[in-house]
Amino acid sequence: MTGIPRRLLVAIGGNATHPGNIRGTPEEQLVIARATARSLLPLMELDNELVVTHGNGPVVGKIHMRMTLARKRVAPMSLDISVAQSQGGIAYLLMQALENALREKGNPRHVVCLLTQVEVDPEDPAFRRPTKPIGYFYDEAEARDLEREMGWIMREDAGRGWRHVVPSPEPRHVADISLVRAIMERGAICIAGGGGGIPVVRGPKGERRGVEAVIDKDLTSALMARVLGIEAFLILTEVRRVAIHWGTPRQRDIERATPAELRAWQREGHFPEGSMGPKVEAACRFVEGGGRRAVIARLEEALPALRGETGTQVVPGGDA
């Protein structure tokens, strides 16, 4: 694939700053953020317009654990505030690590974090059917206690324990998206839309208020990419390519596909919701909405993926 797109949006998972297998000390998080910065450095050194989004799953879970442990002494926060806290904390670590990596190369490019609200429909069916699990596993007695004291909805999760489930409504509008555009067009790297954005609803006079939800990061990223006229949308994760028959002797990595092909495989039961499903859906939506190319690839292979050398390249039907 020839040519490097100039306008990029890169979505990285929550594991890029806080993988689930660490305790979460500041030192551990800094090490992970530095590794992420090293992986993104080849993209940051290009002459481009670049937006970075990120997940927040592990961090939001730990914020809720702190609230659980301290709930008899400190008033717990609502979920929208917890998302905001995770968005700001993760973006701070990334912002610092990205700029430090650039400075080590003598590059003066700036990195800016924009705390981002994302509007959802207050009538979204997801509010009536909370399904997104967040945070830790509890036994049934602990779960019932949390239901009484915190008002949380707890569900048993595949025999592994009980978890807090929350609504995950569709992202409808990214607030102040014009500011994201202005930052990227001035040459600074803009970190925005973290954790899917702070979920808000909008009143008749334009006033906003937060709601209890966690928006899918990949779907918000796809929406931002379409609105910003992004040329290449990179979803960077832990696997090199999307695969069908994952984890079986029949596993086959997908190097290039159209949205129609991916959706057909999804209907067959590939790409489960808890893993690759949202990434595949986001890539399909971006390309179906007029985007030139979406790529799902390993974080460590960001530049080769952008060049079309690795990853799963998702392209319009006529380009397959």
Residue ranges of alpha helices (H) inside the chain are 26-44, 57-70, 79-104, 140-150, 177-185, 217-227, 259-267, 277-288, 302-306
8 A C-beta contact, residue 293 and residue 6: no
DSSP element (H, E) containing 233: strand 232-237
Annotated catalytic residue 56? no
Does residue 279 have an active-site annotation? yes
Q: Which of 124, 177, 132 is nearest to 152 (CA)?
A: 132
Distance CA 207, CA 32 (A): 38
> Is 217 one of the annotated active-site residues of the chain?
yes
- 240, HSE (Cβ side, Cα atoms, 13 Å): 7
Q: How far apart are CA 148 and CA 150, in angstroms?
A: 6
CA 81 to the chain's CA centroid: 17
What gap in Å lies between CA 304 and CA 300, rounded to an integer? 9
Catalytic, out of 13, 14, 194, 196: 14
Where is 202: in which H helix or E strand? Answer: strand 198-202
| Alpha-carbon gap, residue 238 to 256, rounded angstroms | 18
The catalytic position among 48, 56, 193, 279 is: 279
Q: Which residue of the set 48, 56, 61, 132 is catalytic?
A: 132
Of the residues 48, 197, 217, 311, only one is catalytic, namely: 217
Respond yes or no: is residue 15 known to be catalytic: yes
Per the CB < 8 A criterion, the answer to whether 102 and 109 are in contact is yes
Q: How many CB atoms lie within 10 A of CB 94?
A: 25
Q: How far, in Å, CA of 159 to CA of 148, rounded?
A: 22
Query: Which residues belong to the active site?
Result: 14-15, 132, 217, 279
